[in-house]
Amino acid sequence: MPDISQRGQAMPSSPIRKLAPLAAAAESRGVKIYKLNIGQPDIHTPQKALDALKNIDREVLEYSPSQGILSLREALVNYYKRYQIKLTPDEIIVTAGGSEAVLFAFMSCLDPGDEIIVSEPAYANYMSFAISAGAVIRTVTTTIDEGFCLPKVEKFEELINDRTKAVLICNPNNPTGYLYTQKEMNQIRDLVKKYNLYLFSDEVYREFIYTGSPYISAMHLEGIEENVVLIDSVSKRYSECGTRIGALITKNKAVRDTVMKFCQARLSPPLLGQLVAEASIEGTEQYSRDVYEEYVERRKCLIDGLNRIPGCYTPIPMGAFYTVAKLPVDDAEKFCAWCLSDFNYEGETIMMAPAAGFYSDAELGRDQVRLAYVLNKEDLKRALVVLEKALEAYNSL
């Protein structure tokens, strides 16, 4: 039979979804699973958005423009004004989720063999998108003991060579929940300017910042306006992961023109998703405040509970709704699989994402997991009980 492509062989499995078959088998046995492995909130989508979906009055569900519906892009312009980001509709390209925005950014700005510097642990799909584009991820490691703060800029400069083309950040960070400081953002700006690099900035979690510090976007950084490509999505802030609506935003016209070629090749972003997203932007301010307060409470519930379990440790995440935790196990991936295949406590178990998949060197995250506090507080409390019981049972084997 013909060989699978080298690109396909190099493509990693998702650490977030790779245990899904074990979870399905556990559920078929009647085991209830607390799914903290994936950033799928249980919070309801805004009613205004659901009403827009139910009341679509079109007779034809047509192609939309390749760059997205103009009225949605105009609504997004007003949304970004709230964060002191000044844009025109032409500077916004609607994509099929933030994932497509990352992929199209890589495809448009990088040649095969070009390198992107990323701090790790990092969102695992960045590696997949880089492989798809023929690019190479180079990593600067952050540590759980230092709260995953950004390493000194010298660590970045050690990796720069003739093939270095970009720096990629996720702020607030997935998977760690880390929030970059003004000083760190200025260091990144200076690095990008010094070496004339692209700055890809994934900012899909900007609504979820738990400090008194102001939100610092890459679009706020002066002197690198033409270097910045911002990645965004409505998935998390409106609990609309399934609508698949994201955005690629840049002041760089050459980049936009190139991205549009890829957009035209895939024809258009999802029409129904765009209608839902547009309805979500205005008139949902109270919804957003309520959701934020809920995540503040969920964060406290999960972090306090985790750090009370013997042998567990996680720093306090300052943004997003994830945390990376160290567990008292020799191999977190084996432990996560065992929780689904061999363990239950009173008919319940827990699903987590092994953190090794968020590092370039799996040994770095061998005893860590990523947890998403996307369940209600009662479920989070119960999940922590199940986790503690699982650790006791696993370490007594």
351-385: pLDDT as tens digits: 999 999 999 987 899 999 999 999 999 999 999 99
Per-residue pLDDT at 363 = 86
47-92: pLDDT as tens digits: 999 999 999 999 999 999 999 999 999 999 999 999 999 999 999 9
Distance, in Å, from the CA atom of 214 to the CA atom of 107, rounded to the nearest integer, reads: 32
CB 279 within 8 A of CB 310: no
Q: Please tell me whether residue 231 adopts helix, strand or coil conformation.
A: strand
Distance, in Å, from the CA atom of 207 to the CA atom of 94, rounded to the nearest integer, reads: 19
129-141: pLDDT as tens digits: 999 999 999 999 9
pLDDT-derived band at 214, boundaries 50, 70, 90:
confident
Lookup result for tokens 């009370």 = 308
pLDDT above 90: percentage of residues in the chain: 92
Planar angle of CA 220, 183, 100, nearest 5 degrees: 50
pLDDT-derived band at 102, boundaries 50, 70, 90:
very high
217-244: pLDDT as tens digits: 999 999 999 999 999 999 999 999 999 9
CB 265 within 8 A of CB 96: no
- 262 closest CA partner among 58, 118, 125, 93: 93
* Residue 363 token pair: 């040994």
Distance, in Å, from the CA atom of 386 to the CA atom of 77, rounded to the nearest integer, reads: 45
Per-residue pLDDT at 106 = 98
- Could you give the C-alpha distances from 222 to 88, 157, 205, 219, 248, in angstroms and in order? 18, 21, 22, 8, 19
Complete domains list, the chain, with CATH: 6-44+286-394 (3.90.1150.10), 47-281 (3.40.640.10)
